[in-house]
Structure formats: structure tokens, C-alpha cells
Chains A and B, each alone.
Chain A
């Protein structure tokens, strides 16, 4: 079956602009995760959804970042007033449930803020 997909694969934007990053999880996976990864570092947790609700959003760096998953499947990560420091690869993952299950990762979206 299809894996986790993310669009776009690359996004270049200017400082101050708004961006949306999309994640399509594996069908039937109730848990969905967003991570951010900078060069040379491991993925940094942003937010975790169980179904439609954000079970843990403690990793979102500030209120410019917001994520939704309105129907419990596709999720969108939204970044307002982008800053150069937001440049990173944004990774999405899904799993059958939130605990004790392997996470399946998408290929990521490389965001560059000029």
C-alpha cells in the first residue's frame, strides 16, 4: 500500500510569508506526528495527533506554528510570518496508534525561508 506522502517536497518562501505543508498518512493510522529536522540533528518533535485532536502540541516553537487534522486523516502544518530560522526539513509520520508502534515517515518537505 501507499506510504506517507508529503507535499510539496520543496518550498521556498520569503521571510514574513505564510506556508502550508501537507501530510497524507497511511490509511487506517490513527496517530500522526510532525517533526522538524535541521542539518546534522535528529528530528525534533512538534505535535502529535490521535485522531482529529492534538494529543500533544508541546513541541510547537511558538504561536506562529499551527497544525490541523480535521477529519482524522490528512494533516496540514501551517506557519505564519515565516522567519529564516524556520528553514528545515519538516517530517510527518504516522502509526497505527500512539504508543508502542513503529512510526512510518514521509519523505519530508524542505522549507527554505529567504
Chain B
């Protein structure tokens, strides 16, 4: 079973709106990553945030990390139809382990 939880499970918005997805976890981590997946195949890495960082930006993406609440959020601004995909957070099980846990993802639909 997965140790992370993402919410919402599904999100439907209009093009141009912002989309926010949240991830909660239960263990101590040294980094957390967000991935995107189209059509149930390979995942694409979006952004990595380390435990000593609170916020990170990449283009239209903004990721926050609150280690006190064991939660992270991914914000996509000015969404486009091409952003339609599933988004997953992932983090190492132990602080120095290669083993990562993925949440069950948020399915985002952006309507043109």
C-alpha cells in the first residue's frame, strides 16, 4: 500500500485557471518530487524540492513543502489543455534510501 496521499483524486478546471494538488506523507524525508504521467505510461519528472526548501518554481509550476505538516502542494498557473494528465508526488521511504513511495495521484483535466 502507498504511504502518501494526494488530494483531490480528480480535478477538472477551465483553461487559464490555476490548479492546486496536495500531497501528504507520513515519514521524515530529505526530498520530495513531483511527476506527471500521460496515458498511463512513462512518468516525467517535474520538480524536486529538498527538505530545507520551502518553495520552488519552475516555469508555471510552484511547489511548496511544509515538513512540520508533512505536506506538499503543486500549483500549476494559467493551465492549458496540454496540462491534462495525472500528477504524482514521490519521496524516499528512508532519508538515504533509493526506494521511493508514490501517491495514487491527482488526475487533472483542463477543458479548452
Contact = CB atoms under 8 A, between A and B. Distances in A.
B30 A100 contact: yes
A106 interface: yes
A42 B104 CA distance: 4
Contact of B42 (A31, A50, A108): A108
A79 interface: no
Contacts of A107: 41-42
B99 A104 contact: no
A33 B100 contact: yes
A56 B104 CA distance: 22
A44 B3 CA distance: 11
B99 A108 contact: no
Interface residues of A, number: 32
A62 interface: no
13 contacts: A33-B98, A41-B2, A43-B88, A45-B101, A48-B97, A89-B41, A91-B42, A99-B30, A99-B92, A103-B33, A103-B43, A105-B43, A107-B41
Interface of A: 4, 31, 33, 35, 37, 39-45, 48, 50, 55-56, 58-59, 89, 91, 93, 95, 98-100, 102-108
Interface of B: 2, 4, 30-31, 33, 35, 40-45, 48, 50, 88, 90, 92-93, 96-105
A31 to B, nearest CB: 6
A70 to B, nearest CB: 19
Contacts of B31: 100
Nearest to A49: B98
A104 B97 CA distance: 17
Nearest to A99: B96
Nearest to A33: B98
